[in-house]
Chains A and B, each alone.
Chain A
Amino acid sequence: MAKLARIRISDDEASRTLAQLNDIFAMIEQMRAVDTEGIEPMNHPLGGSQRLRDDVVTEHDRREAAMRNAPEHQDGLFLVPRVIE
């Protein structure tokens, strides 16, 4: 799971976390005993369909403000380690 979630984890931390997650899933089990045959899943308190907006540009150009928080950048681009040799 940690690999899927892209979180590096030590063996020691993994075993401690596993014990906690097992406790949490034991608690979650109660829910699985409920009969929910034919119940429509609720993904949002107010229901309804996803509202769509017109496909137009609404963002201002705030590149400089956005780049201010980048760990590494150059010429208005975000830098990452080389991916393609």
Chain B
Amino acid sequence: MSVDGSTDLARASVAALAKVLAAKEVSAVELATLFLDRIDAHRDLNVFLDVRPDVTLAQAREADRRRAAGETGPLLGVPLAHKDIFVTRDWASTAASRMLKGYMSPFDATVVEQLAAAGMVCLGKVNCDEFAMGSSNENSAYGPVLNPWDKGAVPGGSSGGSSAAVAARIAPVATATDTGGSIREPAAFTGITGTKPTYGRPSRWGMIAFASSLDTAGLMTVSAEDAAIVLSAMMGFDPRDSTSVDRPPEDCTRDLERPVKGLRIGVPKEFFGPGLSPDVEQSVRAALDVYRGLGAELVEISLPNAALGIPVYYVVAPAECSSNLSRFDGVRYGHRASKYRDLEDMISRSRAEGLGPEPKRRILIGTYVLSHGYYDAYYLKAQQVRRLIADEFRRAFETCDIIAGPVTSTVAFGFGEKAADPVSMYLADLYTVPGSLAGIPSMSIPCGFGDKGRPVGLQLMADYFQEARMLGAAHQYQLATDWHRRVPAGF
């Protein structure tokens, strides 16, 4: 593609940026400057929590120096934003919590290290729900992010800053994390491509922990091709993460050109029940028709226990959260209350002041389900039902290669619509939580617009370690459609 003018550069994919960088038509410093200017121009979106142009430009100069020295690579000099769940030495790492205001990590997360080693230039840290807990970004201690398509709508959560950054093209790619839908739901709400790989493939080291058996690093990108390129640099065994999968890194781009003719796409009938809005259903069904037109075979499948995903998730995730967040005691780092009677009072007050309502709710649920006398009835029971859900996916993948369906039951909702009712907010993740519990790769790709002109996402899921196949199927859809190239007005 030809890239002329700053708007075209800002809208370019990572794949296109790689070409102009390689051709030396633009430098990493010029690209970084362009995106820093856009970040500044769109501050009203409240996407970035920490921007340090001097550090960014130093990284960009280093990328240009490496290229001048003969180094090549598809990511060398390409800018990105990191979700404020990944710790970074050069930018504050807060998890969007008051608890970690101003926290400067002594080290970089593995994913941050890997992408820096590939030559990517960090633009700064982006907003999210506090400790990645939420589906609307309204739980950030630093205020919500606005959806670039409609500033009255939420950008989804918890990776709302990452999704809005890419939708507004103020970053060409952003890291994100998914515990129950935190990549796919915001990607759907903002009309971009959001990819969650298999649990355990990217390292969790340096990701501020929420629910350790679910937390997975992934990406927000403008296309599936970009996701495949960047994801390839984030894989690989990390001895510092106790649940890292010991498999060699792989080239996730290898199936991009593979035609979908003959691909068996499983369509779970439970994902098209009465709870699904007609506007979302229409776009998703139209996307399935596109696949059929490309020669894929649609197979009806059944995931009868998937509906239990939400209750299971709200036992497992809070249990792990209550354990992980016990480290915030106001002693070694984090917020400390200014007035207290004794050590215990200091800890209780520091946690009360430093943590927002959603983390507190989840800590309380987790403390309850793990407490003596309730452990078997809740936590153990949830782990058993989790197995039933995972087994259903295994059986489904005996009859299909990919599963497709909606990401969310509605398009992005408005600010305040669900904030007062936690259960209604939790149900926003109805279709994404089952894949998280199983730990399989899944993604959201834009497939149209629904009510009020807000974007709709198509969810694709694949069996363990089949992310390349899933990304290939997504790329083939994006070759046949242009939803992923739509940019909100004013950006």
Q: Does B239 contact A (CB under 8 A)?
A: yes
Q: Does B331 contact A (CB under 8 A)?
A: yes
Are B103's CB and A69's CB within 8 A?
yes
> Contacts A17-B361, A42-B386, A80-B331: A24 and B342 contacting too (C-beta < 8 A)?
no
Q: Does B390 contact A (CB under 8 A)?
A: yes
Are A45's CB and B200's CB within 8 A?
yes
User: Which of A9, A31, A36 is most buried by chain B, counting CB atoms within 10 A of its CB?
Assistant: A31
CA of A29 to CA of B385 in the docked complex: distance in angstroms? Answer: 12
CA of A68 to CA of B198 in the docked complex: distance in angstroms? Answer: 35
Which residues in chain B, 429-449, are within 8 Å of chain A measured between CB atoms? 437-440
Cβ contacts B216-252/A at 8 Å (1 or 0 each): 0000000000000000000000010011011000000
What residues of A have a CB within 8 angstroms of the CB of B331 in the complex? Answer: 70-71, 78, 80
Q: Does A55 contact B (CB under 8 A)?
A: no
What residues of B have a CB within 8 angstroms of the CB of A31 in the complex? Answer: 308, 311-312, 315, 381-382, 385
Q: Does A15 contact B (CB under 8 A)?
A: no
> Contacts A31-B315, A78-B332: A5 and B322 contacting too (C-beta < 8 A)?
yes
Which residues in chain B, 316-369, are within 8 Å of chain A measured between CB atoms? 322, 326, 329-336, 340, 342-349, 351-352, 355, 360-361, 363-365, 367-368
Minimum CB–CB distance from A71 to chain B (whole Å) comes to 4
Are B104's CB and A34's CB within 8 A?
no
Minimum CB–CB distance from A74 to chain B (whole Å) comes to 13
Query: Which B residue sits closest to A38, measured CB to CB?
Result: B384
**Which of A17, A21, A32, A42 is within 8 Å of B377, CB to CB?**
A32
Cβ contacts A13-50/B at 8 Å (1 or 0 each): 00001001101110111111010100111111110001
What residues of A have a CB within 8 angstroms of the CB of B388 in the complex? Answer: 34, 36, 39
Are B439's CB and A46's CB within 8 A?
yes
Are B387's CB and A24's CB within 8 A?
no
> Contacts A7-B363, A72-B336: A39 and B311 contacting too (C-beta < 8 A)?
no
Minimum CB–CB distance from A76 to chain B (whole Å) comes to 12
Interface of A is mostly: loop
**Which of A4, A39, A83 is within 8 Å of B367, CB to CB?**
A4
Are B348's CB and A6's CB within 8 A?
yes
Q: Does B107 contact A (CB under 8 A)?
A: yes
**Which of A39, A46, A70 is within 8 Å of B200, CB to CB?**
A46
Minimum CB–CB distance from A49 to chain B (whole Å) comes to 11
Q: How many inter-chain contacts with C-beta < 8 Å in the A-B complex?
A: 158
Q: Does B305 contact A (CB under 8 A)?
A: yes
Cβ contacts A62-81/B at 8 Å (1 or 0 each): 10011011111000001011
What residues of B have a CB within 8 angstroms of the CB of A53 in the complex? Answer: 239
**Which of A9, A23, A45, A83 is within 8 Å of B199, CB to CB?**
A45
Are A69's CB and B332's CB within 8 A?
yes
Q: How large is the interface on A (under 10, 10 to 19, 20 to 34, 35 or more residues)?
A: 35 or more
Query: Which B residue sits closest to A9, measured CB to CB?
Result: B352
CA of A25 to CA of B423 in the docked complex: distance in angstroms? Answer: 10
Are A28's CB and B322's CB within 8 A?
no
Are B332's CB and A24's CB within 8 A?
no
Minimum CB–CB distance from A82 to chain B (whole Å) comes to 8
CA of A2 to CA of B99 in the docked complex: distance in angstroms? Answer: 17
Query: Which B residue sits closest to A3, measured CB to CB?
Result: B348
Are B390's CB and A42's CB within 8 A?
yes
Are B381's CB and A32's CB within 8 A?
yes
What residues of A have a CB within 8 angstroms of the CB of B315 in the complex? Answer: 28, 31
Which residues in chain B, 356-405, are within 8 Å of chain A measured between CB atoms? 360-361, 363-365, 367-368, 371, 377-378, 380-388, 390
CA of A1 to CA of B363 in the docked complex: distance in angstroms? Answer: 9
Q: Does B277 contact A (CB under 8 A)?
A: no
Are B245's CB and A46's CB within 8 A?
yes
Q: Does B272 contact A (CB under 8 A)?
A: no
Q: Which 8 A-B pairs have the closest CB atoms?
A: A45-B439, A41-B383, A65-B106, A71-B336, A69-B333, A36-B384, A31-B311, A42-B387
List, sorted by A's number, 5 A–B pairs whose CB atoms are closer than 8 Å.
A1-B367, A28-B315, A41-B384, A62-B106, A83-B342
* New A-B contacts (17) at CB < 8 Å, excluding given A7-B348, A65-B106: A1-B371, A5-B364, A7-B352, A7-B355, A8-B345, A30-B311, A31-B308, A31-B312, A34-B305, A39-B385, A42-B384, A45-B439, A45-B464, A46-B464, A51-B246, A72-B336, A83-B343
